[in-house]
Amino acid sequence: MKKTSTRLADGRELIYYDLRDDSVRDATDRRPLDRTVTTSEIRRDPLLGDSVAIASHRQGRTYHPPADECPLCPSEGERLSEIPDSSYDVVVFENRFPSLAGDSGRCEVVCFTSDHNASFADLTEEQARLVLDAWTDRTSELSHLPSVAQVFCFENRGAEIGVTLGHPHGQIYAYPFTTPRTALMLRSAATHKEMTGGENLFDAVLERELAGERLVLEGEHWAAFVPYAAHWPYEVHLYPKRRVPDLLGLDEDARTEFPKVYLELLRRFDRIFGESEPPTPYIAAWHQAPFGSLEEFDGVVREDFALHLELFTIRRTSGKLKFLAGSESGMNVFINDVPPERAAERLREVASS
């Protein structure tokens, strides 16, 4: 992998990740952009104890542009985009309309491929490995920023999810705090550790699922399963079999196997509802241990956390979406119409031949 860092016309950082070591990235951003102005602010809810990002400048962000005006495609002739070069393998750049900025963290966009009509599932294993390397590199770099406590790499896919740019891409949020979901996991891990005399909760979960009926896909170094208490109609958790706290902890064997396992998982997701259905909308979310202090979590250390990816769709059956209505949105109590065991069975049925 070759990494080349440059600056866009408004001062934002852009990084090319190339498969070839002889790639030259010297194109300049020719757009007449003013410096980016953000108004991101973190406010803490005194009742729930969580945090909300207030970012009014995002109201003006790019919204469903036509394909020939996509800001994530390479620049070509006089059609200028966020990527100055005429081609790329993987690109990461600071979001022009970030939810988090300055002392409130940082937001980045990850373009998986220059092919506007592709999806992550269309990548080759070599391309998918390059994305993994980019995620890992950005996790490392962002973790050193003084305002960052946790790094979150994720992909939203599909208009039903709320995606406003059709080009295959994901995002990275670098939060200045430990997120609520992660805090809940850490508290559960601390309680389990104390009650069992030191057993790791994540290890116990993975061991149970490896031996059960909800296992979907297993390699030598990775395992994918539908969790016992899945919140979403089709939800899969992908774990490395050797527990590590973050992407930086993966060894070469796990990195090498990841593209094959993950691409197969994504391709199965696109076959859940049949070949005639539109591509399955999904969210793919990497859960990594915070880089900040864990003193508030009673004896849990970073190494107790298990890196894993959660992949889920909001489509519950053909032509129907799972909406977060009263119980989910009002009380955070999910109601799942698809038994996890049946979801796992379906994901095994649609395996590649």
Residues with catalytic roles: 169
What backbone torsions phi and psi does residue 320 show, to the nearest 5 degrees? -130, 135
> What number of residues does the chain have?
353
Q: Output the CA torsion 93→94→96→97 (10° steps).
A: 130
Tell me if 264 sits within 8 A of 120, measured CB to CB.
no
User: What is the C-alpha separation between 192 and 299, in angstroms, rounded?
Assistant: 11
Maximum pairwise Cα distance, the chain: 65
The tokens 């064997």 sit on which residue?
Answer: 253
**Distance (Å, rounded) from C-alpha 92 to C-alpha 14?**
6
Rounded Cα distance, 271 and 233, in Å: 14
The Cα 125–Cα 105 span in angstroms is 32
Burial call 200-220: b when 16+ CB within 10 Å, e when fewer? bbbeebbeebeeeebbbbebe
Are 352 and 267 in contact, with CB atoms under 8 Å apart?
A: yes
